Structure 1
């Protein structure tokens, strides 16, 4: 797609979401534009789907999302210029949000929105760090034995991989503050405070200290997620209120200083320990799923994973995965299930490709196969095949269950957190025993083959355009065989 096409695409998207004035916040993940709209009813989903390059739309996690695919960053860059919107909400938008009535659904959407806005910008860091850790596992003595643990290359790759997770609170402090509309540099500062060697020393020695005379329980906050997100959220309110009462002539000095002074007891005494405890509790629960649901836990999650992706609920799982990996360096429930489910999307694309007869539709489904298996972009297949033809979703679920069942029975473990959905994600099975790697690859192969076969056997059922009959709208359905 040419550069001028991105400008036209961005223009059409802006118009069909209700115009610039209807956009309060916009960001993007690896494949989607994520809008916070003032009035979602103004968005014309039918016209958006007709925009060249738009693969579909969905509403989840308190956001109106437009699926673009791998070109999303280029579209976002152009859209940010054309819409004159930064990636944080304005003061007027916050006033409007305060007027909204409380509901558990709205609160849940806000939580998902906050997680998405904080975590998705850091996906490149997680990918790069995990790849370095994977290289040490594959090239090191536990696998191929090409490099020794004492070699400079092994040491280099190892500490580079560790750095991505160790300093996660600092980076997350930046992205979380951008999401919540406060100073991102102060967020980095607060993240640095949480992982300062002095605090880590207290935590390791089991010593207590006080903040302004208030007893505090120090914890090791390196690689944690929840403490800094909670702290950044609270800090956004403190900073904004200080800006309202402190004169502009003194704001440059007093606002950042008083903000951090106020946050010290809140972060170190209350939110930090509470977030650390919550993270440990969630991790323990996740790790205990195999004892609660046995090998079926992996199978069920693998069967339902893509539905979690479409609703945005997978962000909760990813947050937990980061916490588990930070503490244990491995995970055997959600990680394997997510990898298998991602490979199954490629199987669904291949099965649909083999079943379809129309040349254009076959070419499109094959492009979805390449996009998912090589590019790691699953949304085009999910919306372009699963939602459009329906029955492929059944094949996707059955294949995911079959692959997950084998992984659960053989106890497959994931040793590298690689948040991409292509074939590279399977390298996460390396790092333990050879049997684990073989069983992990077999589980993905089973999921892929079963999905493709079931999808082909069921055929596809397409939902075509609306027809008006007897004063009511109905959908005509046809089976493609």
Structure 2
């Protein structure tokens, strides 16, 4: 039966004493939050029995009615019925007492920042992925209805790039919103890495002097995540500092300007190169590890590969793998393990689809699965399932490790670069039947382990 958000809103509003008893109402991710004039009027048992209400709690001086994922729609109906002004969603965790800063807390804060920033991008991420999926289905790899020179192919290709190339721009706004910083300044931080004049310098000069003082390495930072995430985090403190010291009458002009004056050299000289440096270090370490670790090294790369992708550092690592590929004519380490890691991303999406109960969430998870297996786009699964729910990250790592362990033991080699969807198997055919079969078995292991562990571990919080 369809959820009647208007009826839920009417019943809840009546139960808390009507609009006359409400001084203000807002909402977070799952709750309606009422500031009541007389908190003794609501009857907890009566409200809990309203269809569509999951519970009640009182915290922070607010009477909170737990609705669930459809709370924005119920909130909109409450505002219409009570003629209240609408407000932006609040942080779900604002009622929690301040916790002591520990290593675990810092880790959780980092994960929450990454999750809160990336999950905002999921709708456009899915849209871009679906365009890519259609391109793959209609293109020369499958149905051969369009070729690479056709207008349709070109259109679908740049619709995909419209998100993934400009990812730092989207992420700048989302990260700023997550931290309560100026979203437009967050966008600007992403844009300065992609300005055509700066991009054109790549390959022609090695450094660009910022303010004629600070040398900044010139590189391609499209699709990179770490520079913007780190830059926006620093910017949030810089902006707060200038808001405090700049007089109110001058703040509109000078706070954003001075913030960017500081952030430009920080972004170009520290944040942007950091991802490249870290990626190079990891790449060199993994290659050295392969020389000593053999098939175990391949397993470790398979377990870590998805996490490297999520930080945007995979480009540097793949560059090292491509050197091997073009020298030997095949690659049996990073690229092969990365292919198996893609299957584990499909697995956590499929496992979530099987486990989730809410119809909307199941539909999203299945969409992520289709986007991966047909379109070769794993980011919706990584961020929409892995980062969002956290426990599937364990399944992701385990599936990647075990699938790549078999891959390494059987010495599977990739002979052709191309598809990242289910057609990736074509890159292994040149190695013979055994090579192809062992690759398929590796993928099945990774997919199955990720699917089963995602289902068993749960952690989706729907109950």
Structure 1 segment 76-91 matched on structure 2, within 5 A: 76-78=72-74, 86-87=88-89
Q: Give the whole-Å Cα distance in 1 for the aligned partners of 2:339 and 2:31.
A: 31
Task: Tell me the residue number matched to 2:269.
Answer: 269
Matched, 1:250 2:250: yes
Mapped contact 1:122–1:172 kept (Cα < 8 A): yes
Task: Tell me the residue number matched to 2:426.
Answer: 433
Q: Give the whole-Å Cα distance in 2 for the aligned partners of 1:190 and 1:81.
A: 37
Rg (Cα) greater in structure? 2
Equivalences, count: 367
Task: Tell me the residue number matched to 1:338.
Answer: 345
Q: 1:373/1:80 Cα in 2 relative to 1: closer, same or farther (>3 Å)?
A: closer
Matched, 1:75 2:71: yes
For residue 319 of structure 1, the aligned residue among 310, 315, 327 is 310
Q: Give the whole-Å Cα distance in 2 for the aligned partners of 1:227 and 1:112.
A: 16
Q: Give the whole-Å Cα distance in 1 for the aligned partners of 2:240 and 2:398.
A: 50
Structure 1, residues 422-476: CA drift from partner, whole Å, max 9, x if none?
xxxxx8333672768998887777788899999xxxxx9xxxxxxxxxxxxxxxx
Structure 1 segment 50-199 matched on structure 2, within 5 A: 52=52, 72=69, 74-78=70-74, 86-87=88-89, 101-199=100-198
3-state SS of paired residue (1:430): helix
Structure 1 segment 439-458 matched on structure 2, within 5 A: none
What's the C-alpha RMSD, in Å, of the aligned pairs?
5.7
TM-score by length of 2: 0.59
Q: Give the whole-Å Cα distance in 2 for the aligned partners of 1:78 and 1:173.
A: 30
Q: Give the whole-Å Cα distance in 2 for the aligned partners of 1:405 and 1:134.
A: 29
Shift of 1:152: 1.2
Mapped contact 1:298–1:405 kept (Cα < 8 A): yes
3-state SS of paired residue (1:433): helix
Q: Give the whole-Å Cα distance in 1 for the aligned partners of 2:218 and 2:110.
A: 26
Matched, 1:220 2:216: no
Q: Give the whole-Å Cα distance in 1 for the aligned partners of 2:89 and 2:438.
A: 43
Mapped contact 1:9–1:75 kept (Cα < 8 A): no
Q: 1:298/1:5 Cα in 2 relative to 1: closer, same or farther (>3 Å)?
A: farther
Name stretches of at least 5 consecutive residues in structure 1 with no aligned partner: 15-19, 28-32, 36-43, 56-65, 306-313, 350-363, 388-394, 417-426, 455-459, 461-481
Mapped contact 1:133–1:162 kept (Cα < 8 A): no
Mapped contact 2:348–2:450 kept (Cα < 8 A): no
Name stretches of at least 5 consecutive residues in structure 2 with no aligned partner: 17-21, 33-43, 56-65, 80-85, 320-334, 370-380, 430-435, 457-463
3-state SS of paired residue (1:209): strand
Mapped contact 1:301–1:338 kept (Cα < 8 A): no
Structure 1, residues 49-105: CA drift from partner, whole Å, max 9, x if none?
x985869xxxxxxxxxx995xxx3x33454589797635769xx79x99x7543111
